[in-house]
Structures are given as C-alpha cells and as structure tokens.
C-alpha cells in the first residue's frame, strides 16, 4: 500500500491509463516483457504514450495490392471482381472494407450487373450525357481530345468501397465490380486495392 505522501502515478497521454512511477520501461524490458510505453509524435510533440496491446497489432491490418489491366479505348469495360476478391482472400481480413481505386483521371470504377447489354448501355448513356462532340475547356487548353473522358470518369468516380464479412466481399449475385475506360485510346491501367479490417 502506497502512502498518501508517496510517489503519484504517472498519467500517460492517449490512454487515460495510470501506471506507478516505479514501473519503468527498463525494468519491464529486463524481465523480457514488452514496454507498456511507446514514443509517438503527437501533434508535433514527442510523447510517451501507452502502447496498444499486442493483440490489437496482430488483428488490425491494412493490406495493399495493385493489379494492372490493358484497355482497348473508350467504353471498354472489365469485370475486376475476381482480382478484388483475390486480394481480400490473400489479406485474411474477416470483417472490414476494401477500397478499389483506379490510378488516373480518365477511368472509373463501380458496380453493375456485368452482362453484354449493360456493357453497351453504360458507355452509351455517358456519351449522351457528356458527348465527345461538345466543346470543353479541357480541349481548348490541351487539344488531347479527351475532355469528355475526364468528365465521364469524374462523374462515375475513380473508386469503390465494398464491405467484407466472413472474409468475403459483400456483393449481390448480379453485382460485379467493373473498371470502365473513359479515355479515347487504349491504356495500361493500374488499380490499387486497399483491404482494411479485423482478422
Ligand atoms: Zn486530357
């Protein structure tokens, strides 16, 4: 029992956890135990904070994987569900999310029922909404013929987040992940897959 006048516990930043001052890092390390402290940069200041339990470190994970695909030009759609599912399986994440991102500003990612009708319909409706024939500021500045490609890709968005449950993508039976080329020429595309969650 510590007397009222004795050493007071040290309050550690971040965890609200009080440890007695005699419980030093060195002592614990000398006993072959991991230190309960770690040095971290907190808003520009170096501080001693309570180390998260080792079990957290093992369970909380982020996995990143890239894959590439070759497109033939505007309107070329690829079903990339298999590649994304493979990254999720390899990560061993059981519950969380996966983010799928096209690197580059003239292609899009989303979900669709991947069948020939919709593979025609989606590029066709984009060309009606944002036709190649219209005059665009991008074209006047760069003369590269793909002002509509940038706008179509931005409208659909470059990324998609899909939930993961029981180690698998949560998708409907008729819901696949697509990559859509919006640029006027074939491109070599890189897709970044980031899997986050608990193992
Ligand atoms: Zn351009």
pLDDT score recorded for residue 48: 86
78 and 112 together in one domain: yes
74 and 47 together in one domain: no
C-alpha dihedral sign at 14, 18, 24, 29: negative
CATH number of the structural domain spanning residue 65: 2.60.120.460
Token digits of residue 148: 């509509």
**pTM listed for this prediction:** 0.72
Give domain status of residue 1, yes or no.
no
Q: How many separate domains does the chain show?
A: 2
Give domain status of residue 102, yes or no.
yes
If you measure from the C-alpha of residue 142 to the centroid of ligand 1, how many angstroms do you get, rounded to a whole number?
Answer: 6
Give domain status of residue 103, yes or no.
yes
pLDDT in tens, the chain (199 residues): 444 454 554 444 444 444 444 434 444 445 566 677 888 887 888 888 888 777 666 666 899 999 999 999 999 999 999 999 999 999 999 999 999 999 999 999 999 999 999 999 999 999 999 999 999 999 889 989 999 999 999 999 999 999 999 999 999 999 999 999 999 999 999 999 999 999 9
Token digits of residue 118: 């919709």
User: What is the 3-state composition of the chain as percent helix, strand, coil, each rounded to the nearest 5?
Assistant: 25, 35, 40
If you measure from the C-alpha of residue 105 to the centroid of ligand 1, how many angstroms do you get, rounded to a whole number?
Answer: 9
If you measure from the C-alpha of residue 66 to the centroid of ligand 1, how many angstroms do you get, rounded to a whole number?
Answer: 24
113 and 18 together in one domain: no
Give domain status of residue 36, yes or no.
yes
166 and 145 together in one domain: yes
Q: Which domain holds residue 93?
A: 61-198
22 and 98 together in one domain: no
CB of 177 closer than 8 Å to CB of 99: no
28 and 118 together in one domain: no
If you measure from the C-alpha of residue 106 to the centroid of ligand 1, how many angstroms do you get, rounded to a whole number?
Answer: 8
Q: Print burial letters for 4-26: b (CB count within 10 Å at least 16), e (below 16).
A: eeeeeeeebeeeeeeeeeeeeee
179 and 89 together in one domain: yes
Q: Return d(Cα 12, Cα 23) in angstroms, integer.
A: 13
If you measure from the C-alpha of residue 138 to the centroid of ligand 1, how many angstroms do you get, rounded to a whole number?
Answer: 7
């Amino acid at each position: 029992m510590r007397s009222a006048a004795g050493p007071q516990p040290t309050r550690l930043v971040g965890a609200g956890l009080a440890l007695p001052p005699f419980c030093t890092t060195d002592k614990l390390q000398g006993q072959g135990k991991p230190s309960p402290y770690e040095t971290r940069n907190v808003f520009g200041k170096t501080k001693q904070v309570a180390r998260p339990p080792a079990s957290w470190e093992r369970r909380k994970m982020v996995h990143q994987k890239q894959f590439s695909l070759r497109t033939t030009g505007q309107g070329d759609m690829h079903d990339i569900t298999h590649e994304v599912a493979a990254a999720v399986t390899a990560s061993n994440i059981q519950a969380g999310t996966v983010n799928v991102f096209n690197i580059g500003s003239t292609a899009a990612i989303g979900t669709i029922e991947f069948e020939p009708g919709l593979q025609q319909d989606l590029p066709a409706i984009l060309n009606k909404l944002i036709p190649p024939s219209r005059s665009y500021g991008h074209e006047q500045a760069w003369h590269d013929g793909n002002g509509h490609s940038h706008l179509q890709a931005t409208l659909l968005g470059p990324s998609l987040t899909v939930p993961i449950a029981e180690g698998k993508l949560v998708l409907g039976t008729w819901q696949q992940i697509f990559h859509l080329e919006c640029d006027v020429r074939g491109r070599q595309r890189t897709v970044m897959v980031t899997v986050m969650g608990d193992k």
